[in-house]
Amino acid sequence: MTHPLGNPPSKIIALHLNYPSRAKERGRIPAHPSYFLKPPSSLAGTKEALVRPEGCELLGFEGEIALVIGSRAQRVRPEDGWQYVRWVTAANDAGVYDLRYADRGSNLRSKGADGFTPVGPRLLDARRLDPAALRLRTWVNGELVQDDTTDTLLFPFGELIADLSRQVTLEPGDVILTGTPAGASVVAPGDVVEIEVSGNGLSTGRLRNPVAAGPALEPYGAMPKADPAEREAAYGTAYTPAPLLDKRVEEGLRSVAVATLSAQLRARGLLHMSIDGVRPTLPDRTMVGVAHTLRYLPLREDLFKRYGNGMNAQKRAIEELRPGHVLVMDARRDTSAGTLGDILALRAQMRGAVGVVTDGGLRDSAAVTELGLPVYHGGEHPSVLGRRHVPWDTGVPIACGGALVQPGDLIVGDADGVVVVPPELAEELIADCREQELRERFITEQVSAGHSVDGLYPLGPDWREPFEQWRRSQDPSQASQGESA
């Protein structure tokens, strides 16, 4: 494979997040830069094909500015970092998300394949460029999909050189991929990706790479697989996954009171569907969503280090959330430790969660309330979960506030509390709830007019005809529906 760098570099270092627009897409702003390595054998030039192996569906492109180191850099200061850059060019940090699970964090197989780092076509003299005044653009099939500038980078180029050179010697010819802006997405065989970097009247020209279909991988190791989370990560804002909950069902559940739902569930013999002992941060808001579950177990000090630290089940549950999810936590009704705080609540909100329910404690309650995310909790508590709980697993049936909650159950909350709704009953429950609430409106009017509740509440035979007359006066289209009820 030919590329404008000549001799291969000793290393290619790629940055995860650097553009505010991309950080907004990802829902997080890193405090420090983080990196991964790509092998020099992944380098390619313009016009060379990006090959998507058979069985992969998520070949992603990422237009980036590549820095080529000109002189050996060790323990460089941020204000001197740009002096060690000799060339600037366009790059595509391509990869297949279908294999990301196999080397989580290192990205070796997902982004390290031959040809997955095209660069070029021209090298720009870094001495003639202002690192804070570069423009990066990407086109797919002639349509502009990425357009951003380097004046608002989270980590300016000089800082990257300084950060890396604290511990890693940067050799002449080494390549640093400096992050991609919003708009990176997925391409398929037949598509063409073009990337250009420009500044101070200079341009790299367009790095142009067609996408081609390749043979299947030999079955010697991890094989491609894609799930909703990887599709969401790969497509970015260009991908809208199917809604977790039908809009009509969501609106129907939102239109009826939790108390009415509880009564209708009870009428069907479902007596234990309320999540007891929780109260809302936002009692004036109605919460409707699909359950994603998290289970805590009692604290065991010898196991907490293994299960409670790092990317534990609590954090995994947050990162697994999709728009429309309600995160439901089983904390065994132990409210003497927090199970959620403001940072994780914010992250849940950024992931698209519509609410959280925990029968444990809530930390940072004032800050969580200010987020505007409905949270139902057992009580406020200042301590962290390690005082009472070990985060154990996610996506499993749990007990929350005395109710059994399965992943995929519907969760509805208002000022009266929270109920669990079996998805297969949702539509008939909505219809019966509306009928019940209509009758209760009629009964309320009669009680306000001075009538006794005897024979009126619940609606008795003597009041049925007056009710039907009242119904017709409210909405004639409901008359026949009520008569058949």
Percent of the chain past pLDDT 70, that is, above it, reads 96
CA-closest candidate to residue 192, choices 206, 211, 205 = 211
Residue count of the chain, please give it: 485
d(CA 290, CA 355): 10
Model confidence over 430-469: pLDDT tens digits?
999 999 999 999 999 999 999 999 999 988 999 999 999 9
Provide the mean pLDDT of the chain. Answer: 91
Residue 484 confidence class, pLDDT cut points 50, 70, 90: very low
Q: Domain segments of the chain: what residues?
A: 12-238, 271-421
- The pLDDT value recorded for residue 239 is 47
Topology annotation, domain 12-238: Fumarylacetoacetate hydrolase; domain 2 (3.90.850)
What phi and psi values does residue 343 have, to the nearest 5 degrees? -70, -45
d(CA 257, CA 440): 12
Whether residue 160 is annotated as binding a ligand: the answer is: no
d(CA 131, CA 37): 23
Q: Is the pLDDT of residue 242 over 70?
A: no
Helix (H, G, I), strand (E, B) or coil at 477: helix
Residue 3 confidence class, pLDDT cut points 50, 70, 90: confident
- The pLDDT value recorded for residue 237 is 56
What phi and psi values does residue 68 have, to the nearest 5 degrees? -110, 120
Angstrom distances, CA of residue 305 to CA of 8, 81, 300, 311, 391: 43, 39, 9, 12, 11
Please report the DSSP string for 66-77 in residue order.
EEEE-S-BSS--
What phi and psi values does residue 437 have, to the nearest 5 degrees? -70, -30
DSSP E strands, 82-142: 85-92, 95-96, 117-125, 135-140
Please report the DSSP string for 34-45 in residue order.
-EEEE-GGGEE-
Angstrom distances, CA of residue 333 to CA of 340, 361, 376: 14, 9, 13
Model confidence over 367-414: pLDDT tens digits?
999 999 999 999 999 998 888 999 999 989 999 999 999 999 999 999
Please state whether beta strands 287-298 and 410-414 pair in parallel, antiparallel, or not at all (unpaired): antiparallel
Q: What is the rounded average pLDDT of the residues 161-180?
A: 97
d(CA 211, CA 188): 6
User: Which listed CATH number (3.50.30.40, 1.20.1250.20, 3.40.630.30, 3.40.50.150) goes with 271-421?
Assistant: 3.50.30.40
Q: Is the pLDDT of residue 186 over 50?
A: yes
Whether residue 318 is annotated as binding a ligand: the answer is: no
Whether residue 344 is annotated as binding a ligand: the answer is: yes
CA distance between the termini of the chain: 74
Helix (H) or strand (E) holding 21: helix 20-26
Structure tokens at 120: 């070029």
- Rg of the chain, C-alpha, whole Å: 29
Q: What is the rounded average pLDDT of the residues 137-145?
A: 93
Whether residue 65 is annotated as binding a ligand: the answer is: no
Secondary structure letter of residue 236 according to DSSP: G
Whether residue 151 is annotated as binding a ligand: the answer is: no
Whether residue 15 is annotated as binding a ligand: the answer is: no
User: What's CA 141's distance to the chain center, in Å?
Assistant: 28
| pTM exceeds 0.95 for this model | no
Angstrom distances, CA of residue 417 to CA of 97, 287, 352, 421: 40, 10, 22, 13
